[in-house]
Chain A
Amino acid sequence: MLTLLIAIPFLCALAVFLPVSRDFRLKLFFVISLAHALIVASFWSHQPLEEYNGFLVLDSLGLILLSIISFLFLSVSIFMIGYFKHEKRSNRLFTACLLFLLSTMSLVAVSYHFGLLWVAIEATTLFSAPLISFHRNQQSLQATWRYLLICSVGIALALMGTFFLAIAAHDVHTLLLPVLLKGASSLSVNWLKLSIIFFIVGYGCKMGLAPTHSWKPEAYGQATGMVGVLMAGALTQCSFLALLRIAQICNKTGLTEFYSSILIVSGILSLAVPAMFILGEKNIKRAFAYSSIEHMGLLVLGLGLGSVGLFGALFHMINNALAKVIMFLTAGSVAQKYGSTRSDEVTGVIHIYPLTGILLIAAFLAGIGMFPFATFHSELLILNAAIISKHYLLAAIGVICLAFMFIGVGKIVLGVIHGKPKEPLLAKKENIYMNVAIAMAVLLLIGLGLWMPRPLENLLHNAVSLVGAV
């Protein structure tokens, strides 16, 4: 079952290179995403068996990530149908890379071996790079280059972290997670500490934590909305999963304070840095990129703050993904309609495209964490955890940074929505596919904000106990 989840998108990605029509590729992608979503939905009710001697195992953490991946790809596949109605460029490489991404991200969610995890994350970096430069102009190539450079360094550091882990696990003689957890007492502490540092810096690079965040504004600013969703909503969370896996080992070996302190520092840094840069920003997508850095900071902060924070962080994984769907897909929609996403070039969207305008407001509120969107609850849980563990200053700084983000993002989004309407490039007709894709996520996010379904709550509690935070 798990192998199918990974193999089928991969094979279809190869099939995309055959000479078929654009529509066929879009439909294929939709079908595969739907199939993926249905399979993952079945995993909620009964857990699949482990495969390849324990290399591929699905546990609660993996299930959270897989569900996020499924939903994101599904909404992107629907959005794509609407997007490519007006896009002239060939979607061959684009669809192929998306399918490769689906396959490798699923691999990340189910790998139980640290080496395999690293390979999968490296593969996701590789396949996401061509997506950024879809429009093949000067700036997008430069953004792709910067992304590749910084993330490659991150990957190399993460590889060193994996090697250090292997040395620490010298007596255990394998990198499989359950074996490492069982033999946790025999791991050498010095090497483990070094490995944790390299993991956090390396995988943090890929998540876009400060100070290695500089690729984010350019990459997300240049990539189309759909790519932005997948990168901000799924790719970064995959790296977060890697951090969760190492957290499992840390908690078993008693190094909780060590890695908590590092994570809290990176978290606060990642909250403060975007707050400093957002106020001068004029481009919606770049603003959303800063918001993504901030949300990653929240995730990492939650992970470092014990089990209440962890619950909030895991819930935030889901909410962040949904919020990013809304944010980046609306930005992509505006971009296609107007040819730009800058608040000085696009104004008065709500007068010409009322539905898109409303969805853009929803995007702003969801990204900032306004009730009734579920992001409100998860952010509150994390800040609450800070107060419970007596990190009052932390909570205060967090609130101030979130306030700055609110002002910054609000300024840009409201500037785009209201004002004198500018002439769009396309017809003044709303695109049904695009809006449906976004609306799905809006409804889901509001639903989660109003009511936590029992299965989800159980899954989250399971996941928290799996990580073993105290």
Chain B
Amino acid sequence: MNIMISILSHWLIALTLAPLFIGIIAKIKAFFAGKKGPSLFQPYYDLQRLFQKNSVYSRTTTWVFRCAPIVNLAAVLVLSLLVPLGPFKAPLQFPGDIFFAAYILGLARFFMIIAALDTGASFEGMGASREAFFSCLSELALFMNFITLALLTHSISLSSMIGADIPMSWKLMGPTLLLVAGSFFIVILTENCRIPIDDPDTHLELTMIHEVMILDHSGIDLGYMLYASALKLFVFAGILLPIIIPIQMANPVIDMLIFLSSMLGLSVVVGMVESTMARYRLNRVKNLLLISFALAFFGFVVKMWRG
């Protein structure tokens, strides 16, 4: 019974809050551009609008195309169960759950890619191939980060990796954690298709990666896809933030406040990064991802050096 309650409350929090942060990022970008920008709750309005519409399916698509949005959203929801959010502990934790997390993400991504290929259009195919390539490199960095964190905290469960041991680790292993945080930030930008890897606002064929894959979805399916990407950002932030701000008070209200304000801070930072940089040329993106890997590897080396 307790498990059910914690799972449901986890999902409640994630589903309610996730679109808000997308809205915050958009607002920050508008602020930097000198515009008033859309309302903070615009993503909610978008989702509401989309869920009231019907989906249109192309005649060339098959069942793959229809089930991809559902699989995507479901996978990200399961992922959110593995990550602690504020005072709420992760309902699902077992040794080795980092591999489960990485592969659940892989499942979601796989379905998105084959759905894009399923449409038979060349733009989607292009986006799919880019997404496949970049995710290879970002998974490299992701796993390197996980290895380092696992060595630091002597466990391979996501919750304990980013849990109580971290404050002490900062004292001794500060440099490693700095490097892991930096590398992970780049991974966040990659996985969630932010500048400088991908521009979420552009709809030009030659510059899209993620946007192009969801180009053909409409109505409820598009709603699911948008929700899934918002949730993904939320969950990734939930992994990164306890590493950077490892403060755990006993009081749940304060913990929630800390969590929310750090999420706000991260959204602001992502918004600033998006506003001040341009999207890299595609072969430079490869270099950026390799740098992210090199950072994580460096963190690993420092950890081995320090014991």
- A/B touching: CB–CB < 8 A: no
Task: List chain B positions with a Cβ less than 8 A from chain A.
Answer: none
Task: List chain A positions with a Cβ less than 8 A from chain B.
Answer: none
